[in-house]
Amino acid sequence: MARAAGVSQATVSLVMGGKWRGRVSVTTAAAVRDTATTLGYRPNLAARNLRLGRTRTALLVVPALTNEFFARVYTGAAGAAAEHGFGVVVYPSPDGIGPARDPFASARAALDGVIASSMASEALTAFRGTDLPLVLLDSDPSDRGAAAHVNLDIAGGMRQTAEHLLALGHRRFVHLASAVPSWTFDIRARSLTAALDRVTGTSVRSVRAPFAVDAAREAAEAALSGPGPSPTAIVCDGDILAAGACKAVRRFGLRVPGDVSVTGFDDLTLATALEPELTTVRLPAERVGERGMSALLAVLDGRWPEEGDLPVELVVRGSSGPAARRPERRTAP
């Protein structure tokens, strides 16, 4: 290529490596690039990575591949990675609580860094204590074993939900909580309790369920059939749990939201497939992945990652409405 362009090999190296500015003229750089295009030149990535000591590969660890939220996190991370010549490998850890095993014979030999989304701290022991930078998404910000954190305003999202339902007159709540032990779900529970405690006359009962529609339905049925006044609102840790709650309400011969309001969290595609459509907290999943990859790139370059929680938004739809004036009669399904 140097012979074809009429320049030295050093000049070609500077131009193709993006280090020509101030050392090679604009005209010469353009001539080298035109020659590369004509000859169909492609850089030898393996040789470049060996020289730089980089694999240009990041590992994204998620609790599950079947959840739309994590698919969108991957989309954001992969897009940001591609802009910098990186690739992203996705690796699921069972239920987010693991432990997540090293997916390679030696992660250090195959990766430049690890990004973990919404994982329990103990699930990541395989990646701690190494020189691999670890970026945590939607995880405990007090975890000092991470090189960077990217979080959402989870507490603010649950607070928005509580304030919305309180303004509609609701005072008797069920919190349909995730059974997965994780910082993000602990924050949702604490934020909901704190918001409701500020208003007199409120009550909340918490029930837990795995992230599955049928499991959520069973847990909601148990809550609805319990003693005492019927709840007028079910606040769910996720849209999948909310789908189960809606089924439970209907099995008791009740209406959503006429008798019981139901809210979710995540704003998955499922939220608008339900009838009525689900009031839920919208999480910018793609932005989470994008920021996570950008944070890893910053750490690798010795720069400070961007700080600050990503904002979330309560999207009000048809599944929430004014509280019922009196407890409805409940018929066991």
- Is domain 154-283 classified as CATH 3.40.50.2300? yes
Query: Domain spans of the chain?
Result: 2-43, 53-151+285-310, 154-283
Long-range CB pairs of 290-293 (<8 Å, 24+ gap) are 290/76, 290/77, 290/79, 290/80, 291/76, 291/150, 292/60, 292/73, 292/76, 292/77, 292/115, 292/117, 292/135, 292/137, 292/150, 293/58, 293/76, 293/77, 293/78, 293/80, 293/81, 293/86, 293/88, 293/115
- The fraction of the chain above a pLDDT of 70, given in percent, is 85
Assigned token pair, 205: 């009962």
Q: In whole angstroms, what is the distance from residue 106 CA to residue 234 CA?
A: 46
- pLDDT, position 132: 82
Task: Quote the distance between the C-alpha of residue 251 and its chain's center.
Answer: 32
The answer on pLDDT for 108 being more than 70 is no
Q: What is the pTM of this model?
A: 0.79
Closest CA to 236 of 276, 258, 214, 207: 207
The answer on pLDDT for 222 being more than 90 is yes
pLDDT, tens digit (0-9, with 9 covering 90-100), for 35-58: 888 877 765 544 444 344 457 889
* Burial class, 97, CB count within 10 angstroms (exposed 0-12 / middle 13-18 / buried 19+): middle
Beta strand 172-178 with 233-236: parallel, antiparallel or unpaired? parallel
State the residue for tokens 């309001």. 261
The top-scoring range by mean pLDDT among 50-64, 115-129, 182-196 is 182-196
**Where does the chain have alpha helices with state H?**
2-5, 9-16, 26-39, 45-52, 68-82, 107-110, 154-167, 183-197, 213-224, 239-251, 270-273, 285-300
Mean pLDDT along residues 144-171: 95
Q: What is the overall mean pLDDT for the chain? A: 87
Question: Between residues 46 and 126, which one has the greater pLDDT?
Answer: 126
Cα–Cα distance list, 273 to 237, 253, 267, 278 (Å): 18, 21, 11, 8
The answer on pLDDT for 332 being more than 90 is no
Q: In whole angstroms, what is the distance from residue 147 CA to residue 143 CA?
A: 9
Mean pLDDT along residues 132-144: 90
- pLDDT, position 228: 77
Q: Can you name the CATH fold of 53-151+285-310?
A: Rossmann fold (3.40.50)
Q: In whole angstroms, what is the distance from residue 216 CA to residue 331 CA?
A: 19
Helix and strand numbers, DSSP H then E, in the chain: 12, 11
Q: How confident is the model at residue 231 (pLDDT cuts 50, 70, 90)?
A: very high
Beta strand 280-282 with 313-315: parallel, antiparallel or unpaired? antiparallel
Q: Is residue 152 within 8 Å of 183, Cβ to Cβ?
A: no
- pLDDT, position 48: 47
Dihedral in degrees, nearest 10, Cα atoms 210, 216, 219, 224: 160
Assigned token pair, 138: 């939607």
Mean pLDDT along residues 151-157: 97
Do domains 53-151+285-310 and 154-283 share one topology? The answer is yes
